[in-house]
Copies of this chain bind each other. A is one copy, B any other.
Amino acid sequence: MIQLSRGSLAKKTGVNSETVRYYEKIGLMPDPPRTLAGHRSYDQLLINRLTFIRRCRELGFSIDETRELLELVDGEDYSCAEVLESTKAHLERIRNKIKDLKKIENTLKTISSRCSGEDVPVCPIVDILWQPPS
């Protein structure tokens, strides 16, 4: 039976130790048991829970979405369908974000290519950005 301190948990899961405290404050992680001296003590279940949270966050789920996923899993009768729905909605948002960034990429590429990059105080990039509003 493993028992980790907050710092060890942080190392093990790859989550910043202050962030652990933050997750407890906002209720993503439960208040953990304490040692006699008042130090937090985490078992395997809590380690796995924090890892789940870290993975959700790395996949771009917001804290609130992560909370909902956790509530589903915590609940007695969660269903695969609900999890899939949330995941697909999130996937759609990620795809939209990629689309937006590609538009930005194209614009930046275009205006960069118009710019000589010479050491002169005349810049097509600035010219483009500095036009009056359409």
Contact of A67 with B by CB under 8 A: no
Tell me if A's interface is mostly helix, strand, loop or mixed: helix
User: Cβ of A34: which chain B residues have Cβ within 8 Å of it?
Assistant: none
User: Cβ of A80: which chain B residues have Cβ within 8 Å of it?
Assistant: 115-125
User: Cβ of A107: which chain B residues have Cβ within 8 Å of it?
Assistant: 59
User: If the complex has contacts A90-B108, A91-B105, A109-B91, are A117 and B84 also in contact, measured as CB distance less than 8 A?
Assistant: yes
Interface string of A85-127 (1 = CB under 8 A from B): 1011011001101100110110111011001111111111110
- A: number of interface residues (CB 8 Å): 57
- What are some 28 contacts across the A-B interface (CB < 8 A)? A13-B133, A48-B130, A48-B133, A51-B133, A52-B129, A55-B129, A56-B129, A60-B104, A69-B129, A78-B123, A78-B126, A79-B118, A79-B120, A80-B118, A80-B123, A81-B117, A81-B118, A83-B123, A84-B125, A85-B117, A87-B108, A87-B111, A87-B125, A88-B112, A91-B108, A94-B105, A97-B101, A98-B102
